[in-house]
Amino acid sequence: MADQFLPPALIGNAKRGVPQYSYNPAKAQALLKQAGLPTPVKLDFWYPTSVTRPYMPDPQRNATAFADNLGKAGFQVQLHSAPWRPDYLGGAQNGNYQVYLLGWNADFPDPANFLNVHFGAFNTQFGFTDNALFSLLQRADASSDPEQRGSLYQKASIDVMKSVPMVPYVWTGSSVAWLKTVKGFVPSPLGSSAEPFATLHFG
């Protein structure tokens, strides 16, 4: 289970100081009433069809499980679905959905490709503004000192979880399997889309 957006394999993943949000339906309902919202609060929850992802192997069942937990916390969830491309991705990225399932497969293994891409400036997908966080991420990305960079990204990872523009729930890994007779394989840090198959041979 994930406690922050930045995966543990990358520098900048915070080992302590990350805000923890336990599942507490009674407290959630009390906070909704404190905000003046009559419960249950109606909520539109979107999930994609015609796709599976490492973080979302069965989108409909994933969404149903979240909807059940939200229902106990004071929400009346209406599930909606749309085909992955172009409808679902376009709707999510343009900020058209109240709540939705979406993850991220990094283009390269660096905290900038997680935090800066999503939270380094205002975007319609998350719809929030935090100029202090934006500035911090710019400083982290510009630093050439690995220790300083890691420290800045740790602070940024914690700050993202204080604002909670999204709720992380799982990190996923990747794996590659070959027959013993396959030789010359060097895994790419970018994943299967960039594996150097030209170097392979059977030994």
| CATH code where residue 91 lies | 3.10.105.10
Residue 125: closest CA among 165, 86, 68: 165
- Residues 86, 183 within the same domain: no
- Residues 31, 107 within the same domain: yes
Residue with token string 């997908």: 125
**Is 6 a domain residue?**
no
**Is 2 a domain residue?**
no
**Is 10 a domain residue?**
no
- Residues 189, 144 within the same domain: no
- Residues 80, 133 within the same domain: yes
pLDDT of residue 188: 66
- Taking the C-alpha atoms of residue 149 and residue 200, their distance in angstroms, rounded to an integer, is 36
**Is 102 a domain residue?**
yes
pLDDT of residue 191: 60
Preceding amide of 40 cis, omega within 30? yes
**Is 58 a domain residue?**
yes
Whether residue 84 contacts residue 50, with contact meaning beta carbons closer than 8 Å, is answered with yes
- Taking the C-alpha atoms of residue 119 and residue 164, their distance in angstroms, rounded to an integer, is 11
Could you report the per-residue pLDDT of 9-52, keeping only the tens digit for each?
999 999 999 999 999 999 999 999 999 999 999 999 999 999 99
- Residues 99, 192 within the same domain: no
**Is 29 a domain residue?**
yes
Burial class (CB in 10 A: 0-12, 13-18, 19+), 145: exposed
Whether residue 123 contacts residue 103, with contact meaning beta carbons closer than 8 Å, is answered with no
**Is 18 a domain residue?**
no
* 3-state secondary structure at position 128: coil
- Residue-number span of the structural domain to which 191 is assigned: 177-203
- Residues 137, 193 within the same domain: no
- Residues 123, 86 within the same domain: yes
Residue 39: closest CA among 48, 47, 29: 29
Residue 140 neighbours by CB distance under 10 Å = 25
- Residues 67, 131 within the same domain: yes
- 6 token code pair: 């930045």
pLDDT of residue 106: 85
**Is 117 a domain residue?**
yes
* 3-state secondary structure at position 48: strand
pLDDT of residue 47: 98
- Residues 113, 187 within the same domain: no
Which amino acid is present at 126?
F
Count of domains for the chain:
2
- Taking the C-alpha atoms of residue 169 and residue 88, their distance in angstroms, rounded to an integer, is 20
- Residues 203, 104 within the same domain: no
| Mean pLDDT, the chain cut into blocks of 10 residues (203 residues total) | 93 96 96 96 97 94 98 98 96 96 90 96 93 98 96 98 95 81 77 70 83
Pinpoint the alpha helices (H) of the chain.
25-34, 59-72, 89-93, 115-119, 131-142, 146-163
- Residues 149, 182 within the same domain: no
pLDDT of residue 193: 57
Residue 158: closest CA among 119, 191, 192: 119
- Residues 98, 195 within the same domain: no
